[in-house]
Structure formats: structure tokens, C-alpha cells
Amino acid sequence: MFTGLVQGAAKVLTISPRDKDGARLTFTHPLLACAKTGDSIATNGCCLTVVDPQGEQASFDLLAETLRLTNLGDLRPGSVVNIEPSLLPTDRMGGHFVTGHIDGCGEVLFFGQDGADWRLDIKASDTFLRHVVRKGCVAVDGMSLTVADVIPGGFRIWIIPHTLEVTNLSDRKAGDRVNLESDLLAKYAEKLLGKA
């Protein structure tokens, strides 16, 4: 379980083929200095398991399904990913409940300054948008963000300067794929109400 409060942006060292259709992803960041084999690290919002920690560097195995459903297959050496270690029982819950189980990818329609502020518009599937409401929570590449508005075919988010500083968001441009996870509570409510 994660909060969606990204704790760092890590640089990808390698992403290499592994097994039949999978890959091994390796990146480095000071947050990984305490990582152990088996730990969970949200990487662009995807819950990944540490398999080979070495100091401030760690590797993660990616299944074909992960590569197909997320933007991790788009990564190259030098790419920057958002990372967050898993939530501890003693941590503050500052974002929202993020599982790291990606629902699919969206597409950046617009990212840039709008007046004095930064605006992010994302195109998403109708299936995903079913769980998106104005002032609700959504995870975009692992970032817990508040939906400002639902727009035709997508949603709009206003970005605070701190988010730009600690995430990979400043590298995003129109056409980029982003990992999306809708609000877990909305999914459970839909299931319990029999509308799934």
C-alpha cells in the first residue's frame, strides 16, 4: 500500500529483456540504500518487488502484463521514474490509498503553464473515467492528485510547485503515456452497489 506522495525521482540505469517476454529494470536513488529483497517500491505508480538491491541501486522484474498495461515498457536508460517505498503502519496518510495496481494508461493532452499555474489534462478511457469525480483522488504515475474537473474524454489537474520539484512531471509533454490508478474506494463502492 502507498500514499501517492512520491518521495523521489530515480534515474533508470538499464531495462533489459528477461525470460520470454519480461524485462529487468534497474535504477538508482538514495532512497534505495535501505531497500531489501522483497520490499515493494511504487515505480511510476506500479508496485514492484526489489530483487537485487546493491547500495543505492536496485533491480525489479517486470512481467509481460506489466509491460503491456503500463508505461514501464517505454522506459530507456536515462528515463526518470517516480518512486515511493511502501507505507509503514507508523507513517502519516497524506495522500490517498494507492495500491500500485495500475488500471491502464492515459495520454497527456496538455501539460504546461496556464497563467501563473501549471495545468495537466489527461485523456482516459470511459471505463477509467467512471471512477473519476471532481475533487476526487486519482494516481497519475504514482502521484496522488486531486481532480479539478472532469473534461470531455478525460480530466484536469492543477499542479503545485512542490509536485514539479520532486517528481518526473516536468519531463511530461502532450502525447506521453501515464499510468493511471483510480480511487480504490470508488471501485469497492461500485462493486458493493452491484454496478460492476
Concatenated DSSP letters of 40-77: EEEETTEEEEB---BTTEEEEEE-HHHHHHSGGGG--T
In a domain, 3, yes or no: no
**CA–CA gap between residue 140 and residue 194 (Å, rounded):** 27
In a domain, 98, yes or no: no
Predicted pLDDT at 195: 60
In a domain, 99, yes or no: no
- Share the mean pLDDT of the chain: 94
C-alpha cell read off for 61: 522484474
* SS3 labels along 150-172: EECCEEEEEECHHHHHHCCHHHC
Q: What is the domain range of residue 119?
A: 104-192
Predicted pLDDT at 19: 79
Predicted pLDDT at 128: 96
Q: Are residues 63 and 116 in the same domain?
A: no
Question: What's the average model confidence in pLDDT over 91-113?
Answer: 93
Q: pLDDT tens digits for 121-169? A: 999 999 999 999 999 999 999 999 999 999 999 999 999 999 999 999 9
In a domain, 92, yes or no: no
Residue 186 has pLDDT above 60, yes or no: yes
Nearest to 165 by CA among 118, 103, 107: 118
Residue 104 has pLDDT above 80, yes or no: yes
Nearest to 95 by CA among 59, 151, 138: 138
Percent share of the chain, pLDDT over 70: 99
In a domain, 2, yes or no: no
In a domain, 32, yes or no: yes
Predicted pLDDT at 88: 84
Q: Are residues 25 and 62 in the same domain?
A: yes
The DSSP call for residue 10 is E
Report residue 189's pLDDT band, with 50, 70 and 90 as the boundaries.
Answer: confident
Residue 190 has pLDDT above 90, yes or no: no
Looking at 55, 85, 115, the residue that finishes a domain is: 85
31: domain CATH number is 2.40.30.20
Q: pLDDT tens digits for 169-183? A: 999 999 999 999 999
Q: Are residues 116 and 63 in the same domain?
A: no
Residue 54 has pLDDT above 70, yes or no: yes
The DSSP call for residue 125 is -
Residue 194 has pLDDT above 90, yes or no: no
**CA–CA gap between residue 6 and residue 95 (Å, rounded):** 10
In a domain, 95, yes or no: no
